[in-house]
Amino acid sequence: MNPKTLKLIYQPTIRQAAFAGLAGRSRDRTQPARGRFTREDVQSILDEVWMKYERLASRVPVQPSLGNQMNLLLSCITLCCFQTMLESGVERGYAIELIGDMAWKIYEKWGAIPITLARLHKHNPRDQMRFAVNAFLRFPFSPPGYLLERLPSDDGISFNIKRCVVAEYFRGQGAADLCVGTWCDLDFALAEMWGGWLERTETLASGGPSCGFRFKAPTPNA
């Protein structure tokens, strides 16, 4: 997937997510007098994001896997949005929060697909969780960009990610905190949407030796 193809596919979804997640939010959570983001503000941010993307996407390392390449290009868009918001005067931590909220609008759509299929074929909530997680591990979070160490689990599905191309990309851009506060933290809401919860104590992006994923689901018929 090249940068132009990804933009063509994702631009409408990203636009929808930006307006849903940003319009009406405070420009500064500590200074109410700065007002709130208008629809015109959001459109201006999007215009700048795509201009930055045109410049930066060509520098994204090419991956042999379609899913890996898609994730890296989406990471580039995340970074472009972050840079745009910082340049407009949004405080760093708040910019990460806002981008995380916008990103969830997209991630939520992704996550709905495997759990819908899981519930059609599986009745046990733990089997549904395993089905959904394994679907994501096949695409887009697949080798070689993601290296997986599976662990035994009776109450869900557990594994460690030993390599993550998205974490590598953000760390290389000096934006590890952006990765943790957006891409990484979305996994907790995803697990909840899939009918369970996620336990995790470390991530590659935050400097850990791996990303520990312990997806849990309720006891059947509990």
pLDDT at 14: 97
- The per-residue pLDDT for 101 is 97
What does residue 116 show for φ and ψ, rounded to 5 degrees? Answer: -65, -45
Output the 3-class SS for the chain.
Answer: CCHHHHHHHHHHHHHHHHHHHHCCCECCCCCHHHCECCHHHHHHHHHHHHHHHHHHHHHCCCCCCHHHHHHHHHHHHHHHHHHHHHHCCCCHHHHHHHHHHHHHHHHHHHHHHHHHHHHHHCCCHHHHHHHHHHHHHHCCCCCCCEEEEEECCCCEEEEEEEEEHHHHHHHHCCCHHHHHHHHHCHHHHHHHHCCCEEECCCCCCCCCCCEEEEEECCCCCC
Averages of pLDDT over runs of 10 residues in the chain (222 residues) are 95 97 96 96 98 96 96 98 97 98 96 96 95 97 97 96 98 98 97 97 95 94 62
Measured CA angle at 44 (ends 43, 46), to 5 deg? 65
What the chain holds in terms of domains, given with CATH numbers, is 3-216 (3.90.1520)
User: In terms of Cα–Cα distance, which of 139, 95, 102 is closest to 117?
Assistant: 139
**Long-range contacts of the stretch 134-139 (C-beta < 8 A, 24+):** 136/110, 139/66, 139/67
Question: Rounded to the nearest 5°, which phi and psi values hold at 186?
Answer: -65, -20
pLDDT of res. 1: 87
pLDDT at residue 201, as a whole number: 87
What pLDDT, on a 0 to 100 scale, did the predictor assign at position 221? Answer: 72
Sign of CA dihedral 172, 173, 175, 180: negative
Distance between CA atoms of residues 198 and 192, nearest Å: 8
In whole angstroms, what separates CA 69 from the centre of its chain?
14
Cis omega (within 30 of 0) on the bond before 140? yes
Backbone angles phi, psi at 29, to 5 degrees: -70, -10
